[in-house]
Amino acid sequence: MKSWEELIPIEIREKYEIYNFNSAAEILSQTHSMEFEEIVNALSHFNIELDDITARGGNESRIPKKLSEQLRPNGWEELEISGDLVVRLLEGKSRNTPARTFTLEDFISGHKIDYVKGEVAVDLEWNSKDQTFDRDLYAFRTFYECGVITCGVIITRSEQLNRVFAALGEDIKKKYGASTTWMGKLLPRIHARRHGGCPLLVIGITPKTIVDWEDM
């Protein structure tokens, strides 16, 4: 039986930092093969330049748009979930007849994921405030617990990019500071189970995605 690493093409494993939670890689590759192939293809063609890093903008910068260019043509769309909660209070031994029924409107509201297709969700956080991960993980959890998705993929910056930022100068290093979205802020939140039981494949963007960068 293959390990989860072997399910992911070697060129993707060499290009990115990857973590697998709750068997997300196995679920993706075996149950959602078409979506998995499209994600792998998007990651394979996803490349950035130093100008993309130094350009202004956070999650509205060029870099998230590069992922959109790969996924949107294949039908990956932003999806928002909302729902009301019907509460039934039952009394007596039989508990067949509700003593009281009421509805909590908008019990689920405002949770969005950038790319959803079938039962798979993908989100990219390039350079937002690190609290954005709390919102994202709760969204994945809600979509999963409501049966909308069976697994998800979160893409963010690997710590390995810090040496690139440092080489580009103090302003760039400060721009991509410790309080922004990067792997070091995401993993502790996942280990704290803020995603609930949602299987997650976590992808870290490394210097190997930068076409005009050479490691010293």
Please state, as a whole number, how many other Cβ atoms lie within 10 Å of the Cβ of residue 75.
Answer: 12
CATH assignment at residue 53: 3.40.91.20
Residue 127 included in any domain? yes
Q: What percent of the chain has pLDDT over 90?
A: 79
Residue 96 counted as domain residue? no
The model's pTM: 0.91
- pLDDT, tens only, 35-87: 999 999 999 999 999 999 998 765 567 899 999 999 999 999 999 998 888 88
Q: In this predicted structure, what is the pLDDT of residue 114?
A: 95
The number of folded domains in the chain is: 1
Q: Are strands 151-157 and 200-205 parallel, antiparallel or unpaired?
A: parallel
CA pair distance 141, 71, nearest whole angstrom: 22
Q: What is the pLDDT of residues 109-145, one digit of tens each?
A: 889 999 999 999 999 999 999 999 999 999 999 999 9
Residue 15 lies in a domain: yes
Q: Looking at the domain assignment, is residue 90 inside a domain? A: no
| 152 is a domain residue | yes
Host domain of residue 137: 4-80+111-209
Distance (Å) of CA 102 to CA 84, 92, 97, 133, 185 = 10, 19, 14, 33, 40
Give the β-pairing of 151-157 and 120-125: parallel
Question: In this structure, is residue 98 part of a structural domain?
Answer: no
- Both tokens of 204, joined, read 């870290």
In a domain, 93, yes or no: no
| Residue 190 domain flag | yes
